[in-house]
Amino acid sequence: MRLNTIKPGAGSKFAAKRVGRGIGSGLGKTCGRGHKGQKSRAGGFHKVGFEGGQMPLQRRLPKRGFVSLTRARNVEVRLSELERLPVDEIDLLTLMQAGVVPADALSAKVVLSGELTRKVVLRGIGATGGAKAAIEAVGGSVSAE
């Protein structure tokens, strides 16, 4: 291969439409825009959803539901992940430093998944009913302060 023989892939390049160059070109006179109307004019386009002044569909339909912006920042933590941590007192900052939860997490909740064999104390972290029972069964405690 030589630099002077490199060409773009077959079919990847197209010649630009040359409009307004006579009848024989197929794009003469109106240049493929048809006759009159907003779409035929220069700069004659409107924004997405515009319905000619009629109340647009997205405004005619009622608003419904709610999307929480903080939902993705509430994290679930497994019991097996708590088991691997080297500390006994666990709070949100500890989980962030250990890389168990992302640094932008707002809250964490322990769920019953995996096993816990040692005593841990949770501070400022929620726990499901089953997880709380499992933590207290091995002598640990949960305080959501």
Total residues found in the chain within this entry? 145
Q: What is the pLDDT of residues 111-122, one digit of tens each?
A: 999 999 999 999
DSSP state of 118: S
Total-model pTM:
0.57
- Kindly list the domain boundaries of the chain, sorted by start residue: 17-46, 74-143
- Can you give the pLDDT at residue 145? 62
Q: What is the pLDDT of residues 14-55, one digit of tens each?
A: 999 999 999 999 999 999 999 998 889 998 888 899 998 999
- In whole angstroms, how far apart are CA 71 and each of 67, 68, 107, 113? 8, 5, 10, 21
Strand-pair category, 74-78 with 107-111 = parallel
- Can you give the pLDDT at residue 45? 83
Which residues have CB under 8 Å from 30's CB, separation 6+?
Answer: 40
Domain covering 74-143 in this structure, CATH number: 3.100.10.10
Residue 100 to residue 82: CA distance in whole angstroms: 9
Residue 70 to residue 103: CA distance in whole angstroms: 14
